[in-house]
Amino acid sequence: MADHYLTGVDPTVAVGSYLIARPSVGQNIFSRSVVYICSKNTVGTTGFILNHLTEFTANDLARAAGLAETGAGSQLRLYRGGPININTVYLLHTTDYNSPQTEVTGGFFDYTSDRNTIETLLSGVSPRISRLLLGLAAWAPGQLEKEIADRRWINCDLSVDIAFGIDSDRLYDRCIEAAAEQVFTRWF
């Protein structure tokens, strides 16, 4: 685990940090994933995959929930947030939005999962930055740190412009570049 002094990879996971899947993660839902960490406590670590776009839009959710489709809903794409609670829709968003169901993370982003949030989004009102996600990712206490030590993940800081400003199909490669830049800057 001490090789982070040579590689720049720190196994410590914090709320607000990002994980980039290494090829050793294998061919599964986490393959080529970029994950935002939104919670870490005694029961484990929770995050959302940011770059696995689905074929669904918010209007598809509206139809399934018996809500009216809107022009705004046709523009909001859904992402696969992880393999846990895959039938639950989450909104990862900046702190300028909240509802009674918002989970405050203490990071740059909070998350909310309730019907009112979907209705608000469909009406065209949205947070400054957000991502609509199906499911989430979760790890037991110590599990993620072990996976980082086993070289399955790169733990890094990313700018919001990179994490949320790049098309999902290019995000993984850009995050790898950003992580390499961090290591280079730190050591050279």
* Residue whose token pair is 């994933």: 33
How would DSSP label each residue in the chain?
A: -TTHHHH-------TT-EEEE-GGG-SSTTTT-EEEEEEEETTEEEEEESS-EEEEEHHHHHHHHTPPP-HHHHH-EEEE--SEEEEEEEEEEETT---TT-B--SSSEEEE-SHHHHHHHHTT---SSEEEEEEEEEE-TTHHHHHHHTTSEEEE---HHHHHHS-HHHHHHHHHHHHHHHHHHHH-
Give residue 6's pLDDT. 41
From the list 45, 130, 140, 54, the residue with the least C-alpha distance to 92 is 130
pLDDT digits over 79-110, tens only?
999 999 999 999 999 999 988 999 999 888 99
Instruction: Domain 10-182: give its CATH code.
Output: 3.40.1740.10
- Look at residues 5, 13, 12 and name the one whose alpha carbon lies nearest to residue 186: 5
**Residue of 135, 131, 138, 118 whose CA lies nearest to 171:** 131
User: Tokens at residue 171, please?
Assistant: 């995000």
Contact (Cβ atoms closer than 8 angstroms) between residue 119 and residue 67 = yes
pTM value?
Answer: 0.90
Contact assessment for residue 149 and residue 15, using Cβ atoms and an 8 Å cutoff? no
pLDDT in tens, 118-166: 888 888 888 999 999 999 999 999 999 999 988 899 988 888 998 898 8
